[in-house]
Amino acid sequence: MADFETSDDDYYGDDSLDGLDQEEDDLLWTPQRTPSSASKVITRASLLAAQREDLKRVTEMLTLKEHHARTLLIHHRWDVERLLAVLVEKGRDRLFTEAGIPILDAAHQASARSTSSIMCNICMEDISPNDVTTMDCGHCFCNDCWTEHFIIKIKEGESRRVRCMAHKCNAICDEAIIRNLVSVKDPEVAERFERFLLESYIEDNGKVKWCPSVPHCGNAIRIDGDSYCEVECTCGLQFCFRCSSEAHSPCSCLMWELWIKKCKDESETVNWLTVHTKPCPKCHKPVEKNGGCNLVTCLCGQYFCWLCGGATGRDHTWTGIAGHSCGRYKSDHNKVAERAKRDLNRYMHYHNRYKAHMDSMKRENKLRETVQATIATSESKDDGFRDYSWVTNGLNRLFRSRRVLSYSYPFAFYMFGDDLFKDDMTEEERQLKQNLFEDQQQQLEVTVERLSKFIEEKFDKLPEDKVKEIRMHIINLTVLVDTCCKNMYECIENDLLGLLQSTTHSIAPYTSKGIERASELSVCPDSDQILNSSKANDDDAHDPSWVSSAPGTDSEPRSEGQVSCASLDDNGCSSRKRAREETLGSLLFDLNLPAEVA
């Protein structure tokens, strides 16, 4: 990107084409996504590992049990930095009690264990000490009561914060105990619990969002920096990270939401009808005014007054209807009608341009194939000696800027309209800023159209020198369009949104290289569990030993990682995976379906 800026000057009217090295850099855009992109895609297979990474950091840093680390992380929305800040600021005890982790020493309670039967305070039965469980907080109840309590809480959707049954005890129950007890009684609920815990990493996490694709690709995206950004999932969908709708920069999320709504609910058509027609007082059908005078006739034969809508007789003069007087509302009527008409015209102006660029984008999408074919024939002609990357680069630039251009119209509609910032600017200021912006917008528009025109040329049919000329134009315009986009964004950020007094309105910044595709999360295989989960990703790693360790098949305490990752494996890709899905039966969750809250 930096290259573009410094070499802009060389570009204008310079035939030397020394911009080629930048174009090579541009080449990297589409096919190869840099592995270090700021956003990461979290797949069904890597979700567990991603979660474990954070869990591991916290367990190691604070030396505590994993379920306590999870409780802390859920409480702090998976923000490790914030959690550590609280630790420093308020101390360990406060950090723990606020999140619902008892500070009580486990050894402390162990001594209290008795050998005779214990009365459970819930069911009021005397229970053998083998059938009761003491939670970290020291409260002890029978396993049946605990189990029922857990099932109710999980069904209520409280999996992430199941509290102890004792009165006023704030402690969050040990997930391993929940898992063990519930899976014996109701494996389906246990599965739901597992899934809720796992998805907490996505749903309670400010830096992670589900990809909004429909049907859902199963992925989530984790971002590294500012949440005002646009991302591309590996499934190809580009979306706004903040509002999860389609990428809409330079519109802000609010503008986009308003715009979509405006386009959808045909309120404008309704407006048009109210401006241009009135319901007949007899049959209630809309009647359009046809002539200059205020007496209108409906198809049903009813006469009525256009100004007030009241039924009248047919005797009238130019200024009045016999036996009818409503003149004093006339001016009001006209004002309202005029206003609605003006609003409608304004909307139409912006909408038409928005729509036109959207349509062009669709057309240009088809162009991609044609252009590729043209390149292919040209390459075959000159034995692949020549490099045609300038065409593909130009094409990519065209898509990107067409998009920006298209969304710049709803942006302008709200930026200079009455809906959002009426009180932020005086009328003169607004006019001034609108002119400033429209200059940028028009320059971009003109440049984009020129680029589009050159790219549509069938250069394979043209003589050598003509191709050379087109090539030069395309390379120049490619850079120029990028500069225009940059300038327009700069204008938006510095002169328009940046100067707002009453509100802060942010948009996803312009990226020269287009919306970055999230890269696969690389999992560091430094613990057994993580190793297992990365195996789940790998077709060849069908080690049956961990698949068979499903709940209830062995008494040894399993690591929960194994179960979940078996359950989380990608279903429905290869036949081998499908085969395993059958052996696992109901153990698999489908991350495409929402975990239901009963």
Partner 1 sequence: MQASRARLFKEYKEVQREKSVDPDIQLLCDDSNIFKWTALIKGPSETPYEGGVFQLAFAIPEQYPLLPPQVRFLTKIFHPNVHFKTGEICLDILKNAWSPAWTLQSVCRAIIALMAHPEPDSPLNCDSGNLLRSGDLRGYQSMAKMYTRLAAMPKKG
Which residues are designated catalytic? 293
User: Quick check: 106 binds Zn ion (CB under 5 A)?
Assistant: no
User: Quick check: 170 binds partner 1 (CB under 8 A)?
Assistant: no
Residues 330-369 that bind partner 1 (CB under 8 A): none
Residues 297-316 that bind Zn ion (CB under 5 A): 298, 300, 302, 305, 307-308, 310
User: Quick check: 166 binds partner 1 (CB under 8 A)?
Assistant: yes
User: Quick check: 182 binds partner 1 (CB under 8 A)?
Assistant: no
Cβ atoms of residues 510 and 486 within 8 Å: yes
Coil/strand/helix, residue 499: helix
E strands, 268-420, in order = 277-279, 286-288, 295-297, 303-305, 311-312
- Residue 500 interacts with which of Zn ion, partner 1, none, CB < 5 to 8 Å by class: none
Residues 144-163 that bind Zn ion (CB under 5 A): 145
Cβ proximity to Zn ion: between 137 and 484 the closer is 137
- Interacting span for partner 1 (CB under 8 A) from 106-114, 145-153, 236-244, 575-583: 145-153
Distance of CA 2 to the CA centre of its chain: 28
CA dist 358 and 404 (Å) reads 10
User: Quick check: 233 binds Zn ion (CB under 5 A)?
Assistant: yes
Q: What DSSP designation does 246 have?
A: B
User: Quick check: 243 binds partner 1 (CB under 8 A)?
Assistant: no
Cβ proximity to partner 1: between 87 and 166 the closer is 166
- Residue 121 interacts with which of Zn ion, partner 1, none, CB < 5 to 8 Å by class: partner 1
Q: What angle do CA 332, 337, 339 make, to 5 degrees?
A: 95
Q: What DSSP designation does 294 have?
A: S
Cite the DSSP H helix spans in 91-233.
92-99, 106-110, 143-155, 175-185, 187-203
Cβ atoms of residues 583 and 548 within 8 Å: no
Contacts 24+ apart (CB under 8 A), 346-349: 346/413, 346/417, 347/262, 347/268, 347/413, 348/268
User: Quick check: 184 binds partner 1 (CB under 8 A)?
Assistant: no
Burial annotation 241-278 (CB, 10 A radius, 16+ → b, else e)? bbeeeebbbbbbbebbebbeebeeeeebeeeeeebeeb
Cβ proximity to partner 1: between 148 and 232 the closer is 148
User: Quick check: 137 binds Zn ion (CB under 5 A)?
Assistant: yes
Q: Count residues contacting partner 1 (CB under 8 A)?
A: 15
User: Quick check: 122 binds partner 1 (CB under 8 A)?
Assistant: yes
User: Quick check: 124 binds partner 1 (CB under 8 A)?
Assistant: yes
Among 118, 127, 145, 162, interactor with partner 1 by CB under 8 A = 145
User: Quick check: 164 binds Zn ion (CB under 5 A)?
Assistant: yes
CA dist 413 and 441 (Å) reads 13
Among 108, 168, 328, 366, interactor with partner 1 by CB under 8 A = 168
Element containing residue 118 per DSSP (H, E): strand 118-119
Cite the DSSP H helix spans in 382-463.
389-415, 427-455
Among 144, 203, 456, 520, interactor with partner 1 by CB under 8 A = 144
CA dist 570 and 358 (Å) reads 35
Residues forming the site for Zn ion (CB under 5 A): 120, 122-123, 137, 139, 142, 145, 164, 166, 169, 171, 211, 213, 217, 219, 233, 235, 237, 240, 242-243, 253, 280, 282-283, 293, 295, 298, 300, 302, 305, 307-308, 310, 326
Residues forming the site for partner 1 (CB under 8 A): 121-125, 144-145, 148-149, 152, 165-169
